[in-house]
Homo-oligomer: A and B are copies of this chain.
Amino acid sequence: MLLHHCTWPEVEAYLTRSRGIIIPIGSTEQHGPTGAIGTDAICAEAIARGVGEATDALVTPTISVGMALHHLAFAGSMSLRPETLMAVVQDWVTSLARHGFERFFFINGHGGNMATLKAAFAQTYQAIADLGTVPGGDRVRCRLANWYMTRGAYQLAKELYGDAEGSHATPSEIAVTLFVHPPLKREVPLEPAIAPSGRAIYGAAAFRQAYPDGRMGSNPSLATADHGQQFYGAAVRELSESYRAFLAEP
Contact of A146 with B by CB under 8 A: no
* CB-nearest residue of chain B to A21: B76
Which listed segment binds B: A60-68, A151-159, A221-229? Answer: A60-68
User: Within the assembled complex, what's the spacing in Å between the Cα atoms of A36 and B10?
Assistant: 10
CB distance from A74 to the nearest CB of B (A): 4
With A78-B96, A95-B77 already in contact, the answer to whether A132 and B129 are too (CB < 8 A) is no
Contact of A167 with B by CB under 8 A: no
* CB-nearest residue of chain B to A6: B37
User: Within the assembled complex, what's the spacing in Å between the Cα atoms of A67 and B133?
Assistant: 20
When distances are taken between beta carbons in the complex, the residues of chain B under 8 Å from A188 are 7, 9
Q: Which of B12, B122, B138, B204 contacts A129 (CB 8 A)?
A: B204
Which listed segment binds B: A49-57, A86-94, A233-241? Answer: A86-94
When distances are taken between beta carbons in the complex, the residues of chain B under 8 Å from A129 are 133, 203-205
Contact of A41 with B by CB under 8 A: yes
Q: How many copies of this protein are present in the complex? A: 6
Count of residues in A whose CB is under 8 Å from the partner chain: 93
CB distance from A222 to the nearest CB of B (A): 17
B82 touches A95 (CB 8 A): no
With A35-B7, A65-B92, A184-B5 already in contact, the answer to whether A125 and B204 are too (CB < 8 A) is yes
Q: Which of B15, B78, B83, B186 contacts A75 (CB 8 A)?
A: B15
Contact of A247 with B by CB under 8 A: no
When distances are taken between beta carbons in the complex, the residues of chain B under 8 Å from A19 are none
A81 touches B126 (CB 8 A): yes
